[in-house]
Each structure stands twice: as structure tokens, then as C-alpha cells.
Amino acid sequence: MSNNHDQACIASIEAIIVDLPTIREHRLAMTTMSRQTLVIVRLRCDDGIEGVGEATTIGGLSYGEQSPESIKLALDRYISPLVIGMSAASANAVLAKVDQSVQGNSLAKSALETALLDAQGKRLGVPVHALLGGAVRNSLPVLWTLASGDSARDIDEARQLLDVRRHKVFKLKIGKRSPRADIEHVAAIKSALGDLVEITVDLNQAWSEAVAARHIPDLQAAGVMLVEQPIAKENRRGLARLAQRFIVPIMADEAVSTPADMFDYACEGAAGIVALKIAKSGGPLGVMRTAAVADAAGVGCYGGTMLEGTIGSIASAHAFAACRTMEWGTELFGPLLLKDDIVVERAAVADFELAVPMAPGLGVAIDEDKLAFYRRDQ
């Protein structure tokens, strides 16, 4: 027995590059951002339903091997011709076909998978998290990154956000300066804010194993909650040595994208926590497969971001809401870093949490005027 839901086919896929201004400079170990570039995917089905997705990387090619331009090219030239005409009802079937012919390109695949799930949710009248097995939680705690590099400015920013009950966990991006300068910066912020907040640090692979071994005790002494990706993602055994040496948990981010990566890290005891990202895992369904391996291995889960806008952040929120465990919180603050977005209603954080939408699909609508204004090809 079949019904009309099975008959809807993919009619067209449009990939649009959008450049959005940020509220301030955002400094990482490998780049400083003053704008964010999104690739918005509009997937139209022959039953008139449209699904939307987003692929966003950080600082062009500075963070990883995929750029906005390469994501658009992969979708336009390689992925769209494979899937036009396929049933839009099964994201699994569409992505399985794409995986046979397109290696890597997890961000393009994530945007496609998100758009398929958004369309199917609208078709069935259910939120995306219902397609993922249902939400375990209706809201997610969200941290904020203090990334000005100026201790006094960061302390003021944190106090303001605490006062309005937006964030109480803060991540510090370090690794660009000397370890001593970075540790003084971290210790000053934690000391000023005290037990009202938790502090995490992200090195984005900036240290060698020897430098990490020398300075993680200082971070531990400063009261840091966790240390994210201190050394090169390729150095799995080095991360395992660090994870087994210190009390403060070590979190793998760039090192773990796929369920196979997670399995290898778990076997080595190379991380106590993993940063999950739909962009790394190829979509909401993909990230849940990675999370299942982490759960099985007793590795803690954390909801990571590629600093996506509202579409990508809400897609992540649906997946993280459906994960069995998310004990280390999330960092879905990307929309808050943007001066403007291309959606009707932007994602917002209140009482330290991001509410997960209950409307059909993602629960996000594109603002056509803003999309027209910010798209690069206009």
C-alpha cells in the first residue's frame, strides 16, 4: 500500500552563497572572522513543498577542506544531477545514492539531508526531530564564545550575558598567543567570574603534544571545565595520552566526523567528550549515527557548531534534541554572532536555553527580501 507522500520527487536544488556581517570580530587560532558565509540550499519537490538546508564553514578554507564555493560547486555540478527525480520521502535513500558517487563533501551532504528532512516534516506535519525518533529534550543549553582576545572586554561581555540570563557557560578561543599569555587570559576571566560560570577552552589544534602536556595542568588549575582539541586532529595517540594523563576532560572536535572516527577514538580512549556537528557527519541523521557510537563507548556528547545561521543551527538543535545524551550542552550561538540573517524569525536564547521548534519541518522560514539582499550573486 502506498500513499501520495511516497510519490513526491525532487524537482530542483538551488545552492545560494550568502555573506552576512558579524556583530564583532571573532578570533580563532587559525583566522579572524568579520563576516560569515552561508550556503543556503532550497530543495523543491514536485508536490509544491520546499525544504531548506544550510552548509557553513568557518573562514573559507582556514578551518577545513571545504569552502562555500566548493560546497556550491559540489551541489550544482555533482550532487543535483544524481538526485533530481528521486523520491523526496527518504533522506536515507537519497544520501546513500550520493555517497556512492561523491566522496567526502560532508557539508554539502548535510545541507541536502537537512532540506530533505525539512520538506518531509512539512509533508507529514511533524517537526524534524520527530523524523529522528523524537525529542528527548525540548530546549538546549547554549554557551557563548568570548573571542575578542581582550580579558577586560571579555569579562564585561560575560557579565552582561549573565545578567540577561542568556549564557552561563563560556568558551575561550586560545592558541594564537604564547601559552603563558593564553593561560593568564583564561585564569583572569575565570577568577573574575568565579563559580557563577563554567569556562571551556578551544585550541583548534594549535599546540603540540609536548606543549599541551606542559600547560594543560595550568588550565586545570585555573578551573577550566574541558579542553577542546588541543593538538592536531591526526595525532590520535597523542590525544589519547593527554586524555589519560589529566583529570580535566579532553574533547575531540576536528578529529571526529564519522561513526568510524568515533569508533577509533573510543578504542584508543582518545577523548572523554566528542563535539558532534551535523556539518562534519553529513547531516542530522549522520550525526545521530556518530552519537550512537559515542553513547555505546561511554564518551560524553556535546553539541558543536560551525557558526551556522538560524537554518543550520535549528537543524542541529533538532538532532541534538533527539540524541539520547547531551550532557555537556551545546554551542548553537551562531545566529547570535550575526548582525542579520535571511530568515523571518531568528533563533534566540532565553533563560540560558534555545527552544527546539515544534512546528512542521525545521520550523524556519526564509525572508525572501533579506536573501535577495545578502546573496553574493546579486
The predicted structure's pLDDT at residue 149: 84
45, 185: one domain: no
25, 69: one domain: yes
Q: What residue has cell string 512546528?
A: 359
Q: Does residue 151 belong to any structural domain of this protein?
A: yes
81, 209: one domain: no
Q: Does residue 362 belong to any structural domain of this protein?
A: no
Q: Does residue 116 belong to any structural domain of this protein?
A: yes
The predicted structure's pLDDT at residue 1: 38
Instruction: Out of 54, 254, 308, 331, pick the active-site residue.
Output: 331
The distance of Cα 270 from the centroid of its chain, to the nearest Å, equals 21
139, 58: one domain: no
Q: Which three cell numbers stand for residue 300?
A: 560524553
Half-sphere exposure of 138 (CA within 13 A, CB side): 2
pLDDT in tens, the chain (378 residues): 345 556 899 999 999 999 999 997 777 666 777 889 999 999 999 999 999 999 999 888 877 899 999 999 999 999 999 999 999 999 999 999 999 999 999 999 999 999 999 999 999 999 999 999 999 999 999 999 998 889 999 999 999 999 999 999 999 999 999 999 999 999 999 999 999 999 999 999 999 999 999 999 999 999 999 999 999 999 999 999 999 999 999 999 999 999 999 999 999 999 999 999 999 999 999 999 999 999 999 999 999 999 999 999 999 999 999 999 999 999 999 999 999 999 999 999 999 999 999 999 999 999 999 999 999 998
Q: Does residue 266 belong to any structural domain of this protein?
A: yes
The CA distance from 353 to 141, in Å, is 4
277 is annotated as an active-site residue: no
Q: Residue 97: give the domain boundaries.
A: 4-125+367-374
CATH code (residue 25) = 3.30.390.10
The predicted structure's pLDDT at residue 58: 87
Instruction: Out of 109, 122, 173, 280, pick the active-site residue.
Output: 173
Q: Which three cell numbers stand for residue 156?
A: 564585561
Q: Does residue 280 belong to any structural domain of this protein?
A: yes
CB atoms within 10 A of CB 358: 12
- 139 Cβ contact partners less than 8 Å away, ≥ 6 residues apart: 353, 354, 355, 356
Helix (H, G, I), strand (E, B) or coil at 226: strand
82, 146: one domain: no
105, 135: one domain: no
C-alpha pair distances (Å), 291 with each of 143, 276, 298: 20, 7, 10
The predicted structure's pLDDT at residue 8: 96
Q: Does residue 247 belong to any structural domain of this protein?
A: yes
121, 135: one domain: no
Total domains in the chain come to 2
140, 255: one domain: yes
52, 201: one domain: no
For 86-119, b/e burial (b = at least 16 CB within 10 A) is ebbbebeebbeebeeebeebbbbbbbbbbbbbbb
Q: What residue has cell string 551532504?
A: 109
331 is annotated as an active-site residue: yes
CATH code (residue 228) = 3.20.20.120
C-alpha closest to that of 287 among 310, 312, 258, 309:
258
274, 209: one domain: yes
Residue type for position 225: M
334, 276: one domain: yes
Q: Does residue 161 belong to any structural domain of this protein?
A: yes
158, 303: one domain: yes
Q: Which three cell numbers stand for residue 208?
A: 603540540
The predicted structure's pLDDT at residue 5: 56
Considering the entire predicted model, what is its pTM? 0.95
**Residue 176 in contact with residue 362, Cβ under 8 Å?**
no
Q: Does residue 360 belong to any structural domain of this protein?
A: no
